[in-house]
């Protein structure tokens, strides 16, 4: 397989050009075409001679590939599906994670069933509501109804192919891209379809950046959130490289304020992110009580939410960089006064925002989304205690917008 140019730094592009017998300035031209002009083919790079392009193409791929399909919601949200060929490898040693932490996650992920989750959370069976068809785009058997799906018919050779999703969310002046960082995810959160599919490999920086380049709205994007498939801090080398290309003056030249990286809280890597990056941070919190959080999020065992908050407190979020906490509201699980008060205690004094998220139902999961009235009461309680809290509007429910649903269904149907 040829090396990809997409994802290379300016220095690396110059070195690549020199390696092909070309002047270093051709590397700068490549950066301009790929990152500033968002060129998706060699043909567009008209100020690079044909001979130079041919020499480069002998050795390198651009790393750009069109989505295999897309689905548009009635609210304008658009979900794209990409084919990728990820490497199935463990986190790079540079992430400095203790293997024991991962072993703990794998053990819990393998052994924990939804039934066990229900027992841990003390839900009576008759209070468990499972409605597989509601808001999921799935039929009664949990199969994709194919609603709104547009297939462009292009496919690779099927060797080592995985599917990832990106979602473009239009809001007034903004066009936000929700980006995937891995094929699947090993964190195993019980409320997440991606977590259920397990880990299928690491994306490289090109596969991450391609999501920005190869969608219809590539030239209109205003913001990006790394909240798609995967745990960004479990593939940090590729994610940090993508962030560098996104924010460098020779790259996309985006302000770091336009980018938010979400994490479950992989503590050693989070520390590195907080030291090195200026992008916003979002932490998946979902329950302030460690034992309850563990029942839905195996990673809690490896990286306790209290340890995560303690780490975050050591950094300054009063300026440009912001930290927010994602809190998906599950009826009867994390939505009462006891939880609101514990959350207030956990976050007291921290400059932050809490985003309450409406839950998109997924099959075989015991909880429904909390009602609007309950979410509003929860929000108001936090706001009254000086914790800034908002309810995030729900988008794209009719196109399998819950993370991992479309890719999972698509892989299953292949
Ligand atoms: S919620 Fe995020 S971290 Fe958890 S399994 Fe899904 S993709 Fe992974």
Domain end (from 38, 61, 84):
61
Nearest to 38 by CA among 177, 170, 163: 177
Most informative mutation of 183, 195, 286, 359 for ligand 1 (most atoms within 8 A of CB): 195
Query: What distances in angstroms separate CA 375 from CA 231, 329, 393, 396, one per listed residue?
Result: 26, 7, 12, 20
Query: Which atom of ligand 1 sits closest to the CA of residue 262?
Result: 2
CB within 8 Å of 115: residues ≥ 6 apart:
none
CA atoms within 13 A on the CB side of 389: 23
Is the CB–ligand 1 distance for residue 34 below 6 Å?
Answer: no
Q: Does residue 258 share a domain with residue 174?
A: yes
Does 218 or 157 have the greater pLDDT score?
Answer: 218
Look at the alpha carbons of 397, 128, 334, 119 in this order and tell me if their dihedral is positive or negative. negative
Least confident of 134-138, 139-143, 182-186, 252-256: 134-138
Tell me how many domains the chain contains. 2
Residue 176's DSSP bridge partners are 169, 223
Distance CA 350, CA 332 (A): 27
Element (H, E) at 82: strand 78-84
Is the CB–ligand 1 distance for residue 228 below 6 Å?
Answer: no
Is the CB–ligand 1 distance for residue 230 below 6 Å?
Answer: yes
CB 179 within 8 Å of CB 79: no
Q: Does residue 183 share a domain with residue 276?
A: yes
Task: Indicate which CATH number applies to the domain containing 13.
Answer: 1.10.150.530
Q: Does residue 362 share a domain with residue 256?
A: yes
Domain end (from 22, 41, 61):
61
What is the percent of the chain where pLDDT is above 90?
Answer: 72
Q: For position 388, what pLDDT does the model report?
A: 98
CA atoms within 13 A on the CB side of 277: 31
Q: Does residue 25 share a domain with residue 86?
A: no
Q: Does residue 266 share a domain with residue 193?
A: yes
Is the CB–ligand 1 distance for residue 189 below 6 Å?
Answer: yes
Instruction: Match 């548009």 to its residue by tokens.
Output: 72
Q: What angle do the packed helices 267-276 and 236-247 form, to 10 degrees?
A: 20
Q: Does residue 149 share a domain with residue 45?
A: no
Please tell me which residue in 165, 207, 231, 397 is annotated as part of the active site. Answer: 165
Domain end (from 61, 77, 100):
61
CB 396 within 8 Å of CB 403: no
Q: Does residue 176 share a domain with residue 135?
A: yes
* Known catalytic residue at 165: yes
> For residue 263, how far is its CA from the centre of ligand 1 (angstroms)?
8
Please tell me which residue in 178, 185, 192, 403 is annotated as part of the active site. Answer: 403
Q: Does residue 126 share a domain with residue 40?
A: no
> For residue 383, how far is its CA from the centre of ligand 1 (angstroms)?
27
pLDDT in tens, 10-48: 999 999 999 999 999 999 999 999 999 999 999 999 999
Instruction: Please check the confidence at residue 303 and state whether its pLDDT lies above 90.
Output: yes
Most informative mutation of 112, 187, 308 for ligand 1 (most atoms within 8 A of CB): 187
Mean pLDDT of the chain: 85
3-state helix, strand, coil in the chain (%, to 5): 40, 20, 45
Task: Indicate which CATH number applies to the domain containing 184.
Answer: 3.20.20.70
Residue 284's DSSP bridge partners are 326
Q: Does residue 127 share a domain with residue 198?
A: yes
Nearest to 239 by CA among 204, 264, 271, 211: 204
Q: Does residue 74 share a domain with residue 39?
A: no
Q: Does residue 237 share a domain with residue 157?
A: yes
pLDDT in tens, 49-103: 999 999 999 999 999 999 999 999 999 999 999 999 987 655 443 444 556 666 6
Is the CB–ligand 1 distance for residue 192 below 6 Å?
Answer: yes
Distance CA 305, CA 288 (A): 8
Q: Does residue 285 share a domain with residue 204?
A: yes
Distance CA 141, CA 139 (A): 5
Q: Return the structure tokens found at 175.
A: 């066009």
CA dihedral 347, 348, 354, 359 (to 10 degrees): 60
Nearest-5° Cα angle at 138, 159 to 368? 120
pTM: 0.86
Q: Which domain holds residue 381?
A: 69-413
């Amino acid at each position: 397989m040829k090396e990809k140019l997409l994802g290379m730094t300016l220095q690396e592009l110059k070195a690549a050009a020199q390696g092909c017998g070309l002047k270093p300035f051709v590397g700068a031209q490549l950066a301009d075409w790929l990152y500033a002009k968002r060129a998706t083919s060699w043909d567009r790079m008209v100020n690079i001679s044909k001979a130079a392009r041919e020499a480069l193409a002998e050795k390198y791929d651009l790393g750009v590939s069109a989505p295999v399909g897309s689905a548009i919601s009635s609210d304008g949200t658009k979900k794209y599906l990409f084919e990728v060929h990820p490497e199935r490898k463990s986190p790079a040693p540079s992430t400095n994670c203790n293997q024991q932490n991962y072993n703990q996650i794998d053990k819990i992920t393998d052994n924990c069933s939804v039934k066990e989750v229900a027992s841990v959370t003390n839900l009576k069976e008759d209070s468990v509501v499972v409605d597989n068809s509601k808001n999921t785009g799935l039929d009664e058997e949990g199969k994709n109804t194919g609603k709104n799906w547009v297939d462009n018919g292009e496919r690779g050779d099927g060797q080592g192919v995985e599917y990832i999703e990106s979602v473009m969310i239009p809001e007034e002046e903004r066009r936000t891209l929700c980006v995937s960082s891995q094929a699947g995810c090993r964190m195993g959160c019980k409320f997440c379809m991606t977590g259920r599919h397990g880990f299928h490999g690491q994306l490289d920086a090109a596969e991450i950046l391609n999501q920005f380049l190869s969608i219809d709205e590539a030239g209109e994007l205003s913001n990006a959130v790394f909240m798609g498939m995967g745990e960004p801090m479990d593939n940090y080398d590729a994610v940090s490289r993508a962030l560098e290309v996104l924010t460098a003056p020779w790259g996309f030249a985006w302000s770091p304020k336009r980018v938010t990286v979400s994490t479950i809280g992989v503590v050693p890597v989070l520390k590195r992110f907080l030291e090195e990056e200026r992008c916003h941070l979002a932490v998946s919190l979902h329950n302030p009580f460690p034992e309850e959080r563990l029942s839905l999020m195996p990673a809690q065992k490896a990286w306790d939410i209290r340890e995560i908050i303690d780490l975050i407190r050591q950094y300054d979020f009063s300026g440009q960089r912001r930290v927010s906490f994602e809190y998906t509201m599950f009826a009867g699980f994390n939505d009462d006064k006891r939880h609101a008060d514990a959350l207030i205690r956990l976050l007291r004094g921290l400059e932050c925002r809490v985003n309450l998220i409406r839950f998109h139902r997924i099959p075989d999961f015991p909880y429904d989304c909390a009602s609007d009235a309950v979410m509003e009461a929860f929000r108001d309680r936090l706001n009254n205690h000086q914790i800034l809290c908002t309810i995030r509007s729900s988008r794209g429910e009719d196109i399998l917008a819950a993370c991992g649903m479309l890719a999972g269904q698509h892989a299953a149907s292949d």
